[in-house]
Amino acid sequence: MTIRPTELTEVLLVEPKVFGDDRGFFFECYKADRYVAVGIACEFVQDNVSYSKAGVIRGLHYQWPNPQAKLIQVLSGAVFDVAVDIRRGSPTYGKWIGEVLSAENHHQLFIPPGFAHGFAVLGDHALVSYKCSTLYEAAGDCSVRWNDPEIGVEWPISEPMLSGKDAAALKLADISPERLPRINS
């Protein structure tokens, strides 16, 4: 596998080695020792799958006070996957990166704890699978507004279909500092 740092150096694009022929393909989507060897040393404790239709944006989500690392991949379709650094005291606070993840390119995005995550569906649908380093806690489910102008994510959808929670999310500047992770927290 190949690891490519992004502009947010802790967020990593993972390109697994894919073995393909005229029958189809095979690749290892996760093998703990290989990920540890490249610096992704999380213990993943929960796997989630999300299906979304065309025009959907999900996010920007994070867990607090127990931040999660995530390893995201797309099983069907494609997404524009986004990570935003929301760690107080970070030199890249409020900065974002976006990568296209698809069933065709097999890429994964590793997002460490302290980052908000979201994605926009590219095409008819997307089936997204992601590993989490902490268990989901409903009381810790938090969001940053998907179109916060100070963050400035360049989404490929201007009028998305959103959940009520995502439509009502606060801008990063309006979230109490006590509800945001701190660098090295």
Residues classed as catalytic: 61, 130
Return all residues near 98 (Cβ < 8 A) that are at least 6 apart.
Answer: 80, 81, 82, 153, 154
Q: Where would I find the H helices in 85-175? A: 164-167
Can you tell me which residue has the tokens 């239709």? Answer: 53
The token pair at 75 is 């099983």
- How many beta carbons lie within 10 A of that of residue 75, not counting itself? 14
Q: What is the C-alpha to C-alpha distance for residues 11 and 75, in angstroms, rounded to an integer?
A: 20
Q: What is the C-alpha to C-alpha distance for residues 157 and 167, in angstroms, rounded to an integer?
A: 14
